[in-house]
Amino acid sequence: MVSRSTGTTTTRVIGIAAIAVLAWVVVSAFFITPADFQQGESVRIMYAHVPAAWIAYLAFITTGITSGISLARRHRTLGFDRVAGASAEVGVLFMGLALITGSLWGRLTWGTFWQWDPRLTTTLFLFVTYVGYLAVRNIDGDPHRRAKRSAILALLAVLEIPLVHFSVVLWRSLHQEASVLNPDGDVRLDDMMLFTLFSGVVGFTLVFVWMVIHRQRLATLRDLQQGVGLDAAIAARRNEGAAIAGGGQ
């Protein structure tokens, strides 16, 4: 078992590493990497937009995997369910950041904040789906019912991710195709731009891990508090029943 002090040290190290990497990304994005020959200075939004979108995918896939494990082991532990919920919350945050930065990028590139483009529309639908998932998790307070209900929804919701990612290929889209992970394997970025983008993915991943760890700890404390409250309520009802039975004798 990992001690509490060891866990705190680990999260502190992850947090410091995230700050260091993201500080480098900010410096490189604004002062080192060149402007794009087509998009000019607006391309610098890419260093936040692309990592945010990819980490949102990672978060939602993590939610799907841990939900599947939770559903298979639902009578043994709630730990995977808590990780699933924490990951979804962080994923919604990053997807919201991706939508905001994408809108700003679209305003500079297309002249408008929003178009009902296939990539934008499917991304918005994915975002709304996981907001709904988080709402479903709070319908009632029983942790085991929450785990089963949420796991089923998460396994369905994760199927949307391939649709979002390949939307620029399946339909005619204003959104550009992938500059790094494109089908022909041709990386269309300057070396320093690529390194900075990769650094952004690393930095955002560290933030994701740090936030999920802390959020699942809070979820554990909440479940424990609800369990204590439920036990106290049951004990109080038993005492009331015993008092009534004693008074009737």
Quick one: tokens of 40? 């000019």
Q: How far apart are CA 99 and CA 101, in angstroms?
A: 6
In this structure, what is the dihedral angle of CA atoms 38, 186, 52, 146, given to the nearest 10 degrees? 140
DSSP state of 28: I
Q: Which pLDDT tens digits describe the chain residue by residue (249 residues)? A: 445 555 688 899 999 999 999 999 999 999 999 887 777 788 899 999 999 999 999 999 999 999 999 888 765 678 899 999 999 999 999 999 999 999 998 888 878 888 888 888 889 999 999 999 999 998 876 788 888 899 999 999 999 998 887 876 665 655 555 555 555 545 566 789 899 999 999 999 999 999 999 999 888 888 787 765 545 545 555 555 455 555 555
Q: Give domain limits for the chain.
A: 13-242
pLDDT value for 143: 82
Query: CA 225, CA 219: separation in Å to the nearest integer?
Result: 10
Give the ranges where the chain is alpha helix by DSSP (H).
4-27, 46-72, 79-109, 118-137, 143-157, 160-165, 167-170, 191-248
Closest CA to 119 of 159, 172, 158, 168: 168
Tokens 């930095």 found at: 203
CA-based diameter of the chain, in Å?
A: 91
